[in-house]
Amino acid sequence: MTKIIALLIGLIMTASVCVSCEKVITVIGDKYRNFYEIYVGGFYDSDGDGMGDLRGVIRKLDYLNDGGENKNSLGVDGLWLMPVMPSPSYHKYDVTDYYAIDSAYGGMADFEELAAQCDKRGIMLIIDLVLNHTSNQHPWFLSATASLKHQPCGQDTCVYDDLCPDHNPYCRYYYFSDEKLPDYYETSGGYYYLGTFGGHMPDLDLSNPVVRIEIADIARFWLGKGVGGFRLDAALHYFEGNAAKNAEFLSWFTTIVESENPDVYLVAEVWADGGTLLQHYGGVDSMFNFPFAQSQGYIAAALRQGQGQILSKRIESWQSQLLEVNPNAIDAAFVSNHDISRSAGFFGGDTRVIKMAAAVYLFMPGNTFIYYGEEIGMTGSGKDENKRLPMMFSSKDAAGRPDPPNDADPDQVLRNLGIDVNEQLKDKQSILRFYMEAIKLKNRYPEIARGVVASIETDNPALCVFVTAYGEEAAYIIHNMSGENATVSLTGEFAGLKLSGSLAAGGGKVKTAGSHLVMPGYSTAVLKKR
Ligand code: CA
């Protein structure tokens, strides 16, 4: 079955892509996608119980990708679901059963249908896999703590067999101690366990080969359910402060899943600076590009300063560093996610800047990740619950709109009323229509995602200019990251290029006038050889 699907994807992906038909380019079946991240509980509620669910995601798949021309669809071809496995928390990052769907979201049949529907539309479905820790309600942890015996262990820290005289293997799944260490929490029996993210999330000992057998089984199970890959949560914390061990684990996991299916895609969360990311990159397809994201990241900084030139240099330099540590690395650009304040807020609610940021990151090499609601300019900041508010398909009609998480601030919920998909679909100038247009334009030129980038310096520091080359194809990208008009002479490096597509985040239109390219403030031009 998996092989047939892989073959079909291969056939689709090797088909010729010819939209503007300047030149035919052949794309080899690969892992390059525009992903969309969904908090299932906040997306769409199919049965009116106030909780978003998997059938709700199925109901709204047409909005993401209708499998056809996507005239009223966003046009993404990847979907990342935040955790769907049973968990006592609303966000479900503390799993109690790795082999099931949380009943609040539906059942396994719903998941299988979602996977099949995604497959039909060419959407790669990936799920969050939380391996750093389990819930403290997971049967492994409950069994281990029931075996812990309080007895003196002498001068040294207890070895496991001292802690668990009955040799319960689950005692070795976690980090237990008879003394209070940093980030350790007390069990009811007077022992302590490591919980990097709190007492409800005991850390797994990922160096234990038996734990790894469990993990391999879990991965195979979900691949069998039709997922195309995994988003690996908290990979920075697998072995706290030990990048080499984290990287080893990521390589091991990659080998395991690729032995099942070489097309499986993995993206790891290492929420850290660029240097730390590079130390983790060796064996895994992708890592989220945190240095370019967030309110203080390179994209937001470049937009605040109206300085594009520095950004194109950073894009080139970052890509070359990635390819050096992993020739198959696929960057994973984004601006915000479920842990980060929503970008519309940190871009000051300025529609031009919100759109321009989208154009910039969607046109970076590699894969891109849109956080649900970002494409309509939803806001949310402060506590995590505020960043996971209900998706606003309609402001007027609350049918299908999930309840906000319990602790969300009511004023932040209210602030999103009036921002909605239905209204933005009717408005050609909306943020949503801009995202749709940007994704279409990007997909028209496969070299934008797949190419090797070289930054080009012009005499206007507001411009972010680079060429991205893939096989025999090359696209020249120019972003005007200031609010001022810019003129680019189509000579020298740009001689013989023609304007092949454009986006105008700030209104107006990118045009050629004689041998010049005239760009309004906040706009993007794609140029190709004639
Ligand atoms: Ca529901």
pLDDT in tens, 222-233: 999 999 999 999
| Distance, CA of 530 to CA of 515 (rounded, Å) | 14
Answer yes or no: is pLDDT of 380 > 70.
yes
Q: In a 3-state reduction of DSSP, which class is residue 34?
A: strand
Which pLDDT does position 376 carry in this prediction?
A: 98
CB 400 within 8 A of CB 44: yes
Sheet of 511-513, strand order? 486-489, 516-519, 511-513
Q: What are 412's two structure tokens?
A: 């932040």
Q: Which residues of 132-150 are buried (b: 16+ CB within 10 A; e: fewer)?
A: bbbbbbbebbeebbebbee
Residue 205 is among the residues annotated as catalytic for this protein = no
Answer yes or no: is pLDDT of 407 > 60.
yes
Answer yes or no: is pLDDT of 151 > 80.
no
| Residue 193 Cα to ligand 1 middle (Å) | 35
How confident is residue 281, by pLDDT bands cut at 50, 70 and 90? Answer: very high
| Distance, CA of 378 to CA of 331 (rounded, Å) | 25
Give the HSE-up count for residue 405: Cα atoms under 13 Å, Cβ half-sphere. 21
Which pLDDT does position 119 carry in this prediction?
A: 95
CB 301 within 8 A of CB 264: no
Q: What percent of the chain has pLDDT over 70?
A: 92
Q: What is the mean pLDDT of the chain?
A: 93
- Identify which of 134, 86, 109, 120 has the alpha carbon closest to the alpha carbon of residue 8: 120
Name the pTM for this structure.
0.93
Residue 214 is among the residues annotated as catalytic for this protein = no
- H helix runs in 261-367, sequence order: 274-280, 298-305, 309-325, 343-346, 351-362
CB 430 within 8 A of CB 67: no
Q: Where are the beta strands (DSSP E) in 348-389?
A: 367-371
Which pLDDT does position 530 carry in this prediction?
A: 79
| Distance, CA of 280 to CA of 230 (rounded, Å) | 16
Which pLDDT does position 155 carry in this prediction?
A: 53
| Distance, CA of 200 to CA of 133 (rounded, Å) | 9
Lowest mean pLDDT, pick from 16-30, 72-86, 266-280, 354-368: 16-30
The strand pair at 332-333 and 367-371 is best described as: parallel
Answer yes or no: is pLDDT of 22 > 90.
no
Which residues make beta-bridge pairs with 476?
467, 527
Lowest mean pLDDT, pick from 101-110, 174-183, 331-340: 174-183
Answer yes or no: is pLDDT of 289 > 70.
yes
| Residue 400 Cα to ligand 1 middle (Å) | 8
Which pLDDT does position 60 carry in this prediction?
A: 98
Read off φ and ψ for residue 470, nearest 5 degrees: -145, 115
Burial zone of 401 (CB within 10 Å; 0-12 exposed, 13-18 middle, 19+ buried): buried
Instruction: Name the one residue in this structure whose structure tokens are 């010729």.
Output: 16
Instruction: Name the one residue in this structure whose structure tokens are 């976690």.
Output: 174
- Identify which of 367, 356, 271 has the alpha carbon closest to the alpha carbon of residue 319: 367
| Distance, CA of 339 to CA of 369 (rounded, Å) | 14
| Residue 105 Cα to ligand 1 middle (Å) | 7
How confident is residue 154, by pLDDT bands cut at 50, 70 and 90? Answer: low
Which pLDDT does position 7 carry in this prediction?
A: 39
Which one is catalytic: 269, 316, 375, 473? 269
First vs last C-alpha separation in the chain: 43
DSSP, residue by residue, 65-126: --SS--TTS----EEEEPP-S--SSSS--S-S-TTS--TTT--HHHHHHHHHHHHHTTPEEE
| Residue 388 Cα to ligand 1 middle (Å) | 16
Which one is catalytic: 233, 285, 331, 385? 233
Enter the DSSP assignment of 295: T
CB 234 within 8 A of CB 132: yes
| Distance, CA of 527 to CA of 475 (rounded, Å) | 6
How confident is residue 29, by pLDDT bands cut at 50, 70 and 90? Answer: low
| Distance, CA of 59 to CA of 110 (rounded, Å) | 11
Answer yes or no: is pLDDT of 17 > 70.
no
- The stretch 266-280 carries a mean pLDDT of 98
CB 36 within 8 A of CB 79: yes
511: alpha, beta or left? (left if phi > 0; alpha if psi -120 to 50): beta
Answer yes or no: is pLDDT of 392 > 70.
yes
| Residue 459 Cα to ligand 1 middle (Å) | 55
Which pLDDT does position 364 carry in this prediction?
A: 98
Q: In a 3-state reduction of DSSP, which class is residue 274?
A: helix
Enter the DSSP assignment of 185: E
Answer yes or no: is pLDDT of 235 > 90.
yes
| Distance, CA of 91 to CA of 88 (rounded, Å) | 9
| Residue 106 Cα to ligand 1 middle (Å) | 8
